[in-house]
């Protein structure tokens, strides 16, 4: 017996002294049934997902969308088809969940309870999903517009601020792009190979008929047909590569020009979106082959107004949209309150064009020191005629010379582009508190939406080739972003639609 409280008896020699807990009555482990064992469990499809699952909300949103445009494309007869609302809702929920592949969608219908519930446990082949996206490009764009108007009715779109921006998305094409010399070399190499194959085919004609069996003896090898097809494909690219806009071209997706992406230069497309500030609803979306955004402001603004059926209070874009065409469009549309951030000045510490006052009566400028700059003629710069203004008197002794210009020239000069006055007016607007706020809000509104498309939805590269297919896939991505926003709102606030706004 131990003599003290924490004394323990000496262990016996050779005994196992690993401490064990005493075993109580009953089983220690849950019994695992055999996988081949039959079950009497009775359940319904509705038990597959919880009542608060987001897939139920997406299904409700699908019920509020109009699929009649899809239905009109089915003539009936033959084997019944899956209803386009069922297939479309599955495709939309797949995009919301980052499932882009048609094959992965078909697999999810067998193992993911959310997709199984949405499909009523039906098994749908992957070709149904791929054909749906390939066949119904215009109808998918109409569904996207419907989500915009549904968000308007629910009060998720305020139109107090709409931000426009673009991003480059890689095409479903090999990275290498060919120029004219590359195409000529490839065609010459194929010509040489075809001649060699034709010689081999001619040799077959002279072979013994007994060795040919059931063949006629005049067959061309299968490899020859492949080489000829490649030759014809490359020859078809020659007119495109001679175009100034396509110095290099991808043989696998000729419509996708080289784009500057975060992953270097590669064939891709320019994706455009316009996003409302309130909760991030995309109100306009498009995909172009253009390598910059200078020509995209007008079509995106027009699409925004058409989709929401009224004019936003503020539209803001970044530097890429600053162009004479965009400024002239805004001059024709005075009801648009837009802020287009111009390119940063190469000499920000010096006076810019916006610091000079223009007098329309005398066609002269007045510098900050009070001296006039008079018209001297036209000067061509970067292919455009610019109006040339020069100070009437020397600036050598001006106290503001160091702030005005550098160099040894005795006169200050101004080169005013055809849209120079409009650009000056825009720069002055951007210096106001409203202009600075608009640019700051733009960053917070549109940049995170592109992050959602690329990171959450996984759309960093298009899965199909061609501009039309890219437009369809991006419309589906914009639709998915809106559905995610709608589902999050409905889960919190329920269905509380507000009256649709009057057309403006």
DSSP secondary structure, 251-290, as one string: SS-TT-BEEEETTEEEEEEEEEEEEETTT--EEEEEEES-
The SS3 assignment for 359 reads strand
pLDDT band of residue 35 (cuts 50, 70, 90) is: confident
- Closest to 225 measured CA to CA, from 253, 190, 254: 190
Residue 423 has pLDDT above 90, yes or no: no
Residue 113 has pLDDT above 70, yes or no: yes
Output the pLDDT for position 251: 66
Residue 242 has pLDDT above 60, yes or no: no
Least trusted range by pLDDT, from 55-59, 132-136, 266-270, 302-306? 266-270
Average pLDDT, the chain: 82
Least trusted range by pLDDT, from 40-44, 266-270, 295-299, 457-461? 40-44
Average pLDDT over residues 225-243: 53
Output the pLDDT for position 183: 47
Residue 502 has pLDDT above 50, yes or no: no
**120/180 Cα distance (integer angstroms):** 54
**244/253 Cα distance (integer angstroms):** 18
DSSP assigned state of 107: H
How does pLDDT run across 333-372, given as a tens digit for each residue?
Answer: 989 999 998 877 767 778 888 888 888 888 899 998 888 8
Output the pLDDT for position 475: 95
CB 341 within 8 A of CB 317: yes
Return phi, psi of residue 67, to 5°.
-105, 15
> Helix, strand, coil: what percent of the chain each, to 5?
45, 15, 45
Residue 190 has pLDDT above 70, yes or no: no
CB 351 within 8 A of CB 344: no
**345/97 Cα distance (integer angstroms):** 43
Q: How far apart are the first and last CA of the chain?
A: 97
Output the pLDDT for position 284: 96
Output the pLDDT for position 186: 54
**315/76 Cα distance (integer angstroms):** 46
Output the pLDDT for position 465: 86
Distance of alpha carbon 348 from the chain centroid: 33
Average pLDDT over residues 444-459: 92
Residue 199 CB neighbours (<10 A): 9
Residue 241 has pLDDT above 80, yes or no: no
The residue that leads in pLDDT, 102 or 401, is 102
The SS3 assignment for 408 reads coil
What strands, in cross-sheet order, belong to the sheet with 384-391? 357-359, 364-366, 372-381, 384-391, 413-416
Output the pLDDT for position 504: 41
Least trusted range by pLDDT, from 76-90, 258-272, 353-367, 444-458? 258-272
The tokens 């792009």 sit on which residue? 177
Average pLDDT over residues 17-23: 65
Average pLDDT over residues 318-328: 90
| Residue ranges per structural domain of the chain | 45-135, 137-173+258-370+417-504, 180-241
The residue that leads in pLDDT, 16 or 416, is 416
Average pLDDT over residues 54-63: 94
Output the pLDDT for position 234: 47
pLDDT band of residue 503 (cuts 50, 70, 90) is: very low
Residue 29 has pLDDT above 90, yes or no: no
> For the whole prediction, is pTM greater than 0.85?
no
Residue 497 has pLDDT above 70, yes or no: no
DSSP assigned state of 495: S
Output the pLDDT for position 500: 46
How does pLDDT run across 177-187, given as a tens digit for each residue?
Answer: 545 555 455 54
Output the pLDDT for position 259: 80
Average pLDDT over residues 202-220: 50
Average pLDDT over residues 72-86: 89
The residue that leads in pLDDT, 15 or 141, is 141
Residue 210 has pLDDT above 50, yes or no: no
Output the pLDDT for position 244: 47
pLDDT band of residue 253 (cuts 50, 70, 90) is: confident
Burial 277-308 (b: 16+ CB within 10 A, else e): bbbbbbbbbbbbbbbebeebbbebbebbbebb
pLDDT band of residue 37 (cuts 50, 70, 90) is: confident
């Amino acid at each position: 017996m131990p003599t003290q409280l924490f004394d323990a008896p000496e262990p016996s020699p050779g005994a196992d002294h690993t401490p064990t807990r005493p075993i109580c009555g009953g089983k220690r482990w849950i019994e695992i049934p055999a996988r081949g064992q039959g079950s009497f469990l009775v359940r319904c499809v509705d038990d597959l997902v919880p009542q608060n699952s987001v897939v139920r909300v997406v299904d409700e949103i699908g019920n509020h969308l109009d699929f009649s445009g899809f239905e009109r494309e089915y003539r009936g007869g033959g084997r019944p088809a899956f209803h386009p609302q069922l297939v479309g809702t599955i495709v939309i929920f797949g995009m919301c969940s980052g499932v882009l592949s048609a094959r992965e969608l078909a697999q999810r219908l067998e193992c993911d309870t959310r997709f199984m519930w949405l499909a009523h446990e039906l098994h749908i082949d992957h070709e149904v999903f791929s054909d749906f996206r390939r066949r119904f490009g215009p109808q998918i764009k109409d569904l996207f517009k419907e989500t915009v108007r549904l968000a308007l009715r629910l009060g998720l779109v305020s139109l107090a601020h709409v931000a426009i921006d673009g991003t480059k998305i890689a095409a479903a094409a090999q990275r290498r792009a060919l120029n004219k010399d590359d195409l000529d070399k490839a065609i010459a190499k194929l010509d040489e190979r075809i001649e060699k194959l034709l010689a081999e085919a001619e040799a077959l004609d002279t072979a013994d008929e007994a060795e040919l069996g059931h063949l006629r003896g005049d067959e061309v090898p299968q490899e020859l047909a492949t080489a000829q097809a490649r030759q014809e494909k490359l020859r078809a690219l020659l007119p495109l590569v001679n175009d100034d806009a396509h110095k290099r071209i991808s043989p696998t997706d000729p419509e996708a020009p080289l784009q500057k992406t975060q992953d270097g230069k590669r064939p891709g497309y320019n994706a455009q979106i316009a996003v409302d500030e309130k909760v991030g609803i995309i109100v306009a979306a498009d995909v172009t082959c253009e390598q910059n955004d200078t020509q995209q402001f007008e079509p995106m603004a027009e699409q925004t107004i058409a989709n929401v059926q009224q004019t936003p209070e503020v539209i803001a874009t970044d530097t890429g949209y600053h162009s004479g065409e965009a400024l002239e469009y805004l001059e024709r549309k005075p009801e648009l309150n837009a802020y287009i951030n111009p390119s940063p000045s190469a000499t920000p510490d010096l006076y810019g064009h916006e610091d000079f006052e223009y007098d329309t009566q005398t066609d002269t400028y007045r510098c900050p020191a009070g001296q006039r700059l008079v018209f001297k003629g036209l000067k061509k710069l970067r292919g455009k005629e610019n109006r040339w203004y020069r100070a009437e008197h020397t600036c050598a002794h001006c106290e503001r010379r160091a702030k005005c210009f550098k160099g040894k020239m005795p006169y200050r000069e101004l080169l005013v582009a055809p849209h120079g006055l409009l650009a000056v007016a825009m720069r002055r607007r951007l210096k106001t508190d409203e202009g600075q706020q608009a640019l700051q809000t733009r960053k917070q509104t549109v940049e995170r939406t592109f992050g959602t498309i690329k990171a959450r939805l996984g759309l960093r590269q298009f899965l199909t080739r061609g501009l039309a297919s890219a437009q369809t896939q991006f419309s589906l991505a914009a639709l998915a972003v809106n559905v995610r926003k709608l589902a999050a709102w409905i889960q919190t606030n329920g269905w509380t639609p507000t009256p649709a706004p009057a057309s403006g």
